[in-house]
Amino acid sequence: MRTLLLAVPGLILAGIGLTHPHHLDASTAQWWQNMHIILAVIFPLLGAAQWVLLEDSPKLVRYPARLAAFGYAVFYGALDALAGIGGGAMTLNGGRDAAAPIFRIGNELGTIGAWSFFAASIAIAVCALLKHKLKAIPGAAFLLTGSFLFLDSHIYWPKGVIACTCIAIGMAATSYVSAAGSSAIEDSTRT
């Protein structure tokens, strides 16, 4: 169940990314705004998934990586609120040109958030590889690929959708290997 739950946010983001307009104008502003209201709930769940995946990491890694996951949720959430919800609302009210400073600030904060997400993903992948060796390679590869693509793709089709799908697969695979490793350890201690 944990494995499935950790994959869900990335899969939802990938699905919504299929509908994300590439340009904000009067014809896309309503969906742009409403979509980002939905995304304001979903994006932080990626950080929560990272938080869970860092659960059995060494404390020296867990705390800074969880701080990075928190940074992602805060700063990427700011991007979503400013450029997504705010930009859409301003465009609906005829102020697309006036929204330029909001997009600039939002994008700057979103960049900090995306790099924070990437940093936490690196910590997750390295810890999984050290603990589970070869079994962790697929999850680490998908998670790092998706996190790298996410740095500059948001959820726009096609790159952003691919990024979010890779993140979902990577998180699920890493969770599965971790759960399987924990079960094997519990079984060996019982005998």
Q: Taking 90 as the threshold, does the pLDDT of residue 45 lie above it? A: yes
What is the C-alpha separation between 149 and 25, in angstroms, rounded? 26
Query: Residues 62-109: pLDDT tens digits?
Result: 999 999 999 999 999 999 999 999 999 999 888 767 778 899 999 999
Of the listed ranges 16-25, 46-55, 98-107, 161-170, the least confidently predicted one is 98-107
Which residue did the predictor score with more confidence, 187 or 175? 175
If DSSP codes are grouped into helix, strand and coil, which group holds residue 21? coil
If DSSP codes are grouped into helix, strand and coil, which group holds residue 85? helix
- For 49, residues 6+ apart whose C-beta sits below 8 A from its C-beta are 5, 6, 9, 10, 171
Q: What is the pLDDT of residue 181?
A: 67
% of residues, the chain, pLDDT over 70: 94
Q: Taking 70 as the threshold, does the pLDDT of residue 188 lie above it? A: no
- Over range 13-34, report the average pLDDT: 95
User: The domain containing residue 39 runs over which residues?
Assistant: 2-190
> How far are the Cα atoms of 44, 68, 81, 114, 124 from residue 32, in angstroms, in the given order?
18, 27, 11, 20, 32
Query: Residues 152-161: pLDDT tens digits?
Result: 999 999 999 9
- Over range 100-128, report the average pLDDT: 96
% of residues, the chain, pLDDT over 90: 87
Q: Taking 80 as the threshold, does the pLDDT of residue 182 lie above it? A: no
- Count up the domains in the chain and report the number: 1
- Over range 118-130, report the average pLDDT: 98
